[in-house]
Amino acid sequence: MILCANPSAQFQSYQAEIEEAALAVMRGNRFILGEAVESLEQEFANYIGTSEAIGVANGTDAIELALRALNIGTGDEVITVSHTAVATVAAIEVTGAIPVLVDVEPQFYTLDPLQLAEVITTNTKAIIAVHLYGQAADLDSIFDFCKSNNLYLIEDCAQAHGAKYKGRRLGSIGDIGCFSCYPTKNLGAIGDAGLITTSNELATKIRKLREYGWSNRISEYKGRNSRLDEMQAAILRIKLKYLDSDNEKRRQLAAYYNDQLSNLPIKTPEIRAEVESVYHLYVIQVMEQQKFIEYLLDKGIQVGIHYPVPVHLQPAYKNRVRLARNMRVTENLTNKIVSLPMYPELSIQEATEIINAVKSFFEEQGC
């Protein structure tokens, strides 16, 4: 079986270094917010191009803590997209703020800036730009809108570790960048982990919020427990060294897919001008989605749908979020998108097997 994502393969790539780093943590006497976390924070900030990075428990917490640091809460509104992992919207809701969801651009699957003017109100405080599938949203347009309307810009970089927009790494452009380090991410832990990046005074507040709002163990703010442990930090430090080379392997695989699938009746990914994608996912569009998925599975190839149901149509959020008038692109995508296997350890031989299976499907369909 060729898996859609395979985090265990990455562990095997760097197994000796990871095991040595993990053993060093176990032999130490500091397991939470210690030296490994501090080192990771500095190294990740240097990599992204911000003055600060803060380790937290997961990517959802990263967004929640970012919002809390900006004093966003009950009655406030935060604009983002419905075509995203539910974590983006869940993090908004847990602060007490109201998620306001807009449609995505049909060619890039990221936030449609043309809808922002339609949904903004006096209660709007921030926009969360989701950099989906490994490439950037239209940051120039979104940034200009935020500036004109005195809004904060939060970058959801959960799928875009290392990606660039006009030469700058994502997570360094908005007020705050939020990263998930879930095991399948481009920079993935062996467990849950997250990182927040910023270049302003918010870093001090976020560090307090992640640990009960403490300042000298006195709660200065209403915080919570979202501490990053030393084990995950030590593992992420190893993987961070190889992130650029692993992302380059993803780009090479994407180029191979693009070349080999170009003459088939499918839509391959489009990359925005002046964006360097890191291809967290390789997402195509096909007309017979379920038949296509079942065919590949029968050939021993696991694929995915990211995402099968828009957030605003899921039971927990239906009729509980505010929407742009037109969500047509988001709602139509769910019946067409398919994520092909994509990870640095996927071999050319396996990619060829996937491509041959895709071609075989369309041949049998008479295409």
DSSP 71-123: T--TT-EEEEESSS-HHHHHHHHHTTPEEEEE-B-TTT-SB-GGGHHHH--TT
pTM of the model as a whole: 0.98
In a domain, 1, yes or no: no
pLDDT reported for residue 365: 83
Question: What percent of the chain is modeled with pLDDT above 70?
Answer: 100
Rounded to whole angstroms, the Cα distance separating 195 from 161 reads 10
Pick from 224, 241, 258: which residue ends a domain? 241
Q: How many residues does the chain have?
A: 367
What does the pLDDT read at residue 122? 98
The CATH number of whichever domain residue 343 belongs to comes to: 3.90.1150.10
Q: Which of 241, 266, 292 is the last residue of a domain?
A: 241
Query: Residue 250: what pLDDT?
Result: 98
Q: Give the Cα separation of 197 and 49 in Å (integer).
A: 9
Separation CA 157–CA 165 (nearest Å) = 12
120 and 154 together in one domain: yes
Is there a single domain that holds both residue 320 and residue 177? Answer: no
**Mean pLDDT to the nearest integer, 319-323:** 93
- Backbone angles phi and psi of 167, in degrees to 5: 90, -10
Residues 235 and 262 in one domain: no
DSSP string, 189-251: -SS--EEEEESSTHHHHHHHHTBTTEETTEESS---B-PPBHHHHHHHHHHHHTHHHHHHHHH
% residues pLDDT > 90 (the chain): 98
Residue 195, pLDDT above cutoff 90: yes
How many whole angstroms separate alpha carbon 42 and alpha carbon 44?
A: 6
Q: What angle do CA 159, 44, 274 make, to 5 degrees?
A: 50
- Render pLDDT for 153-168 as a digit per residue (tens, 0 to 9): 999 999 999 999 999 9
Eight-class DSSP state of 266? S
Neighbouring-strand partners of residue 77: 98, 124
Same domain, 219 and 99: yes
pLDDT of amino acid 101: 98
Is 183 in the same domain as 160?
yes
Helix (H) or strand (E) holding 117: helix 116-119
For 39-70, the DSSP string reads HHHHHHHHHHT-SEEEEES-HHHHHHHHHHHT
- Answer whether residue 16 is part of any domain: yes
Chosen domain end from 190, 209, 241: 241
181 and 55 in a common domain: yes
Q: What is the pLDDT of residue 123?
A: 98
Give how far the C-alpha of residue 75 lies from the chain's centroid of Cα atoms, to the nearest Å. Answer: 26
- pLDDT tens digits along 246-269: 999 999 999 999 999 999 999 999
User: In this structure, are strands 322-323 and 98-102 parallel, antiparallel, or unpaired?
Assistant: parallel
Mean pLDDT of 188-210: 97
Task: Print the domain residue range for 178.
Answer: 7-241
pLDDT at position 367 over 80: no
Residue 137: its pLDDT value, please? 98
Do 70 and 184 lie in one domain? The reply is yes
Q: Is 364 helix (H, G, I), strand (E, B) or coil?
A: helix
122 and 106 in one domain?
yes
Q: Please tell me the total count of domains within the chain.
A: 2
Residues 234 and 252 grouped into a single domain: no
What's the token pair of residue 209?
Answer: 């919020």
What's the CA gap between 296 and 89, in Å, rounded?
A: 32
Do 274 and 304 belong together in one domain? yes
Distance, CA of 293 to CA of 357 (rounded, Å): 11
Grade residue 73 by pLDDT with cuts at 50, 70 and 90.
Answer: very high
**Is the pLDDT score of 319 beyond 90?**
no
Residues 66 and 94 in one domain: yes
Does a structural domain hold residue 2? no
